[in-house]
Structure 1
Amino acid sequence: MTDLGLPENILACLFDLDGVITRTAAVHAAAWRQALDAFLRERDGTDFRPFTDADYAEYVDGRPRSDGVRAFLASRGVDLPEGAPDDPPGATTVHGLARRKNELFLERIRAGGVEAYDGTLRYIRAARADGLRTAVVSASANCRDVLHAIDAECLFDTRVDGVVAAERGLPGKPRPETFLAAARDLGVPPGRAAVFEDALAGMDAGRAGRFGYVVGVDRVGRPDALYAHGADRVVTDLAELTGEPGGPKDPAER
Structure 2
Amino acid sequence: MTTLGLPDDIHACLFDMDGVLTRTATVHAAAWKETFDDFLRRREGPDFRPFDAHDDYDRYVDGMPRADGVRSFLASRGIELPEGSGDDPPDRDTVQGLGNRKNALVLRKIEEMGVEAFPGSVRYAEAARAAGLRRAVVSSSANCHAVLVAAGIDDLFEVRIDGLAAAERHLPGKPHPDTFLAAAHDLGVPPDRAAVFEDALAGMEAGRAGKFGFVVGVNRADQEEALRRHGADVVVDDLAELLGEAP
Query: TM-score under structure 2 normalisation?
Result: 0.98
Residue of structure 2 equivalent to 1:185: 186
The one-letter amino acid of 1:142's match is N
Q: In the TM superposition, what is the alpha-carbon distance from 1:181 to its structure 2 partner?
A: 0.1
Tell me what 2:16 maps to: 16
What is residue 37 of structure 2 aligned with on the other side? 37
2:63 is paired with a residue whose SS is coil
What's 1:148 paired with? 149
Alignment of 1:95-106 (within 5 A): 95-106=96-107
Task: State the AA in 1 paired with 2:146.
Answer: D
Matched, 1:211 2:244: no
Q: Distance in 2 between matches of 1:244 and 1:110?
A: 32
Q: Give the deviation of 1:217 after TM superposition.
A: 0.3
1:223 paired with 2:212, answer: no
**1:143-184 deviation line (CA, Å, top 9, x unaligned):** 000011122111111000000000100000000000000000
The residue aligned with 1:130 is 131
Query: Aligned-pair distance for 1:56?
Result: 0.5
The one-letter code of the counterpart of 2:34 is Q
What is the SS of the residue equivalent to 1:39?
A: helix
Q: Which residue is equivalent to 2:114?
A: 113
> Does the residue aligned with 1:164 lie in a helix, a strand or coil?
helix
Q: Find the aligned partners of 2:229 and 2:55 in 1 and give their Cα distance.
A: 16
| Alpha-carbon distance, 1:47 to partner | 4.0
Identity, % of aligned positions: 66
The residue correspondences of 1:139-178 to structure 2 (distance < 5 A) are 139-178=140-179
The 5 A counterparts of 1:66-81 are 66-81=67-82
1:46 CA drift (Å)? 4.2
- Residue type matched to 1:20 in 2? V
Cα deviation for residue 243 of structure 1 reads: 1.4
SS of structure 1 residue aligned to 2:71: helix
Aligned residue for 1:18, secondary structure, equals coil
Q: What is the alpha-carbon distance in structure 2 between the residues aligned to residue 243 and residue 155 of structure 1?
A: 21
Report the Cα offset of residue 103 of structure 1.
Answer: 0.6
Distance 1:45 1:68 in 2: 23
Q: In structure 1, how many angstroms separate the alpha carbons of the residues matched to 2:80 and 2:4? A: 46
What is the total number of aligned residue pairs between the two structures? Answer: 245
- What is the root-mean-square deviation in Å for CA atoms of aligned residues? 0.9
1:227 partner letter: R
Length-normalised TM-score, structure 1:
0.95
> What letter is aligned with 2:222?
G
- Mapped to 1, the partners of 2:230 and 2:139 lie a distance apart of 18
Q: Match of 1:7?
A: 7
Q: Secondary structure at the match of 1:6?
A: coil
Unpaired runs of at least 5, structure 2: none
CA distance in 1, matches of 2:136, 2:221: 24
Cα distance between partner residues in 1 of 2:41 and 2:193: 47
The Cα of 1:245 is off from its aligned counterpart by 3.2
Q: Which residue of 2 aligns with 1:250?
A: none
Q: Give the AA of the match of 1:111.
A: E
Please give the secondary structure, in 1, of the residue aligned with 2:45. Answer: helix
Distance in 1 of aligned mates of 2:221 and 2:135? 25
Give, in whole Å, the separation in 2 of the partners of 1:210 and 1:178.
13
**2: CA distance, partners of 1:157 / 1:46:** 48
Q: What is the aligned partner in structure 2 of residue 239 from structure 1?
A: 240
